[in-house]
Amino acid sequence: MLFTDLRIVKPILRALMNEGYKQPTPIQEQSIPILLKGYDLLGCAQTGTGKTAAFAIPILQHIFLDLRNQKGGRKIKALIVTPTRELAIQIADSFTAYGKFTGIRNTVIYGGVKQGQQTQALRRGIDVLVATPGRLLDLIGQGFVSLKRIEYFVLDEADHMLDMGFIHDIRKIIALLPSERQSLFFSATMPKNIITLSNSILNNPKKVTIKPEQATAERVSQAVYYVSKQNKRKLLLHLLKTETFTSTLVFSRTKYGADKIVKVLRRAMISAEAIHGNKSQGARQRALGNFKSGKTKVLVATDIAARGIDVDELSHVINYDLPNVSETYVHRIGRTGRASASGIALSFCDVEEKPYLRDIQKLIDQRIPVITDHPFIDNTPEQEVQKSSKNVKNRGKKPYKKKKRFFSKKRR
Ligand code: AMP
């Protein structure tokens, strides 16, 4: 199927060609016709599937066709609410790209920065608003935003919204929307609380499900290195120096770990920056910009900070630590091999992480090939670690003794 088969208006088709898009991704192929007909949509899909264009194209098209009959000044007609600043910026960039020849204006608002530029853009008048929940409510409270004329509402990454504690904000936002509207609801997972929330937003929706795990895992070449915790940094340097890693995203479980990896890389004269929650918004955007422009070769990120990182030319993802939640692994490796490009994801697995590796392989229904041809291979049998961690656990079962020691230390 081609975009030209989807009844998309010429100015948007032209913009898609400009972006180099030829064929719609599965979620676009399924969702665009439903949304152009005006139905509500419940989409089970995650970032990396082409979901942004799946909702942005029909919204732009509806507004474009309505604009011809519009009288008076611009009113916000579409609202997209998303959990993180990075995602919000990317969605707004997508609206700008796909709407380039439509005359439709958008802006993005998010917290953690001064509001001046955002309120100025709102005053100039916009058709599409992309927002994170806190700043949106804040600017509504101050009278800069009115949701009275919203016709299209998108709640993006609903599961992450709830994980991040945004449920009350979302309820407040929904209460302010006109009841007559088209609503779209996206979530990578659909547990019960998400279904309940979607029911409170959607009206008789059509459902679209894109199974990301399988698709991502098939698209991305994966491999795992067995290596001890101590040798991970040596292996990372070895790979970055010997292989053709043009732009590499390294995942670290902790912020502290991310900073440490950056230090090690810089000492070895490899340009690297970290992006995590302790960094200011400005520092995060700068790091991302340097990485995208190729100034920095390696970006080290934690999972939350990496949400929504969208770099087209990412050559490698390295899991310096394996995540204990298998779905996170799929999210991580999905950062490379975006929208049908192929990518490479390498994982470092120490002996304590082997159970995580097993869970991941179960989820993606694949065995990840093990690379044994490297100088830091670690063959410690898992049982040994299990035995020693059992001993640690037993020792921990004597809280009384521990407490006593604590008091005596404190009194000294
Ligand atoms: P998303 O899931 O919306 O974050 O999109 C993931 C990436 O795929 C982004 O870099 C988009 O620019 C790209 N993309 C979206 N749709 C297409 C398409 N039909 N063809 C090629 N690339 C696409």
Range with the lowest mean pLDDT among 128-132, 139-143, 239-243, 263-267? 239-243
Q: Is the CB of 53 under 6 A from ligand 1?
A: yes
The rounded Å distance from CA 28 to ligand 1 centre is 10
Q: Is the CB of 47 under 6 A from ligand 1?
A: yes
Instruction: Give the separation between CA 275 and CA 128, rounded to whole angstroms.
Output: 28
Q: Is the CB of 339 under 6 A from ligand 1?
A: yes
Residue to mutate, 5, 13, 19, 312, ligand 1, most ligand atoms under 8 Å from C-beta = 19
How confident is the model at residue 111, as a pLDDT?
Answer: 95
**pLDDT top residue among 366 and 300:** 300
What pLDDT, in 10s, does the model give residues 27-75?
999 999 999 999 999 998 877 788 999 999 999 999 999 887 777 778 9
Q: Give the atom of ligand 1 at the shortest distance from the alpha carbon of 97.
A: 12
Band of pLDDT at residue 405, cut at 50, 70 and 90? very low
What value does the mean pLDDT take over residues 348-360? 95
Domain extents in the chain: 3-210, 214-394
**pLDDT top residue among 270 and 280:** 270
Band of pLDDT at residue 396, cut at 50, 70 and 90? very low
Band of pLDDT at residue 249, cut at 50, 70 and 90? very high
Q: Are 244 and 80 in contact (CB under 8 A)?
A: no
From the list 51, 82, 52, 76, the residue with the least C-alpha distance to 128 is 76
Task: Calculate the average pLDDT of the chain.
Answer: 87
In the block, which residue shows the tokens 């479980």? Answer: 253
The rounded Å distance from CA 50 to ligand 1 centre is 4
The rounded Å distance from CA 338 to ligand 1 centre is 7
Q: Is the CB of 385 under 6 A from ligand 1?
A: no
At 84, list the tokens: 């993180």
The rounded Å distance from CA 355 to ligand 1 centre is 33
List the residue whose alpha carbon is closest to atom 5 of ligand 1: 50
Q: Is the CB of 247 under 6 A from ligand 1?
A: no
How confident is the model at residue 366, as a pLDDT?
Answer: 86
CA triple 15-66-100, angle to 5 deg: 20
What pLDDT, in 10s, does the model give residues 197-226?
999 999 999 999 886 665 667 778 899 999
Instruction: Find the helix or strand (DSSP H, E) in which 273 lies.
Output: strand 272-275
How confident is the model at residue 412, as a pLDDT?
Answer: 34
From the list 229, 250, 276, 256, the residue with the least C-alpha distance to 376 is 229
Instruction: Find the helix or strand (DSSP H, E) in which 188 lies.
Output: none
How confident is the model at residue 150, as a pLDDT?
Answer: 97
What value does the mean pLDDT take over residues 301-310? 74
Q: Are 294 and 245 in contact (CB under 8 A)?
A: no
Same fold, 3-210 and 214-394: yes
How confident is the model at residue 212, as a pLDDT?
Answer: 61
Q: Give the atom of ligand 1 at the shortest distance from the alpha carbon of 45.
A: 2
* β-pairing verdict for 106-109 and 248-251: unpaired
Q: What does the radius of gyration of the chain's CA atoms come to, in whole angstroms? A: 24
> How many other CB atoms are found less than 10 A from the CB of residue 144?
17
Using left for φ > 0, alpha for ψ between -120 and 50, and beta otherwise, residue 71 falls in beta
How confident is the model at residue 410, as a pLDDT?
Answer: 39
Indicate whether 383 pLDDT > 80. no
Asked if the 214-394 domain carries CATH number 3.30.200.20, the reply is no
Q: Is the CB of 164 under 6 A from ligand 1?
A: no
Greatest mean pLDDT among 147-151, 159-163, 374-378? 147-151
List the residue whose alpha carbon is closest to atom 12 of ligand 1: 50
Range with the lowest mean pLDDT among 96-105, 237-246, 248-257, 390-399? 390-399
How confident is the model at residue 242, as a pLDDT?
Answer: 73
Share above pLDDT 90 across residues of the chain, in percent, rounded to a whole number: 62
The rounded Å distance from CA 330 to ligand 1 centre is 17
Rounded to two decimals, the pTM is 0.63
CA dihedral 70, 62, 6, 331 (to 10 degrees): 140
List the residue whose alpha carbon is closest to atom 1 of ligand 1: 50
Indicate whether 179 pLDDT > 90. yes
Q: How far is residue 296 from each of residues 212, 273, 328, measured CA to CA in Å?
A: 29, 7, 25
Q: Is the CB of 49 under 6 A from ligand 1?
A: yes
How confident is the model at residue 379, as a pLDDT?
Answer: 77
Range with the lowest mean pLDDT among 20-34, 121-135, 144-158, 383-397? 383-397
CATH superfamily of the 3-210 domain: P-loop containing nucleotide triphosphate hydrolases (3.40.50.300)
> How many other CB atoms are found less than 10 A from the CB of residue 391?
9
How confident is the model at residue 308, as a pLDDT?
Answer: 59
The DSSP code sequence of 298-362 is EEEE-HHHHTT---TT--EEEESS--SSHHHHHHHHTTSS-TT--EEEEEEE-GGGHHHHHHHHH
Band of pLDDT at residue 299, cut at 50, 70 and 90? very high
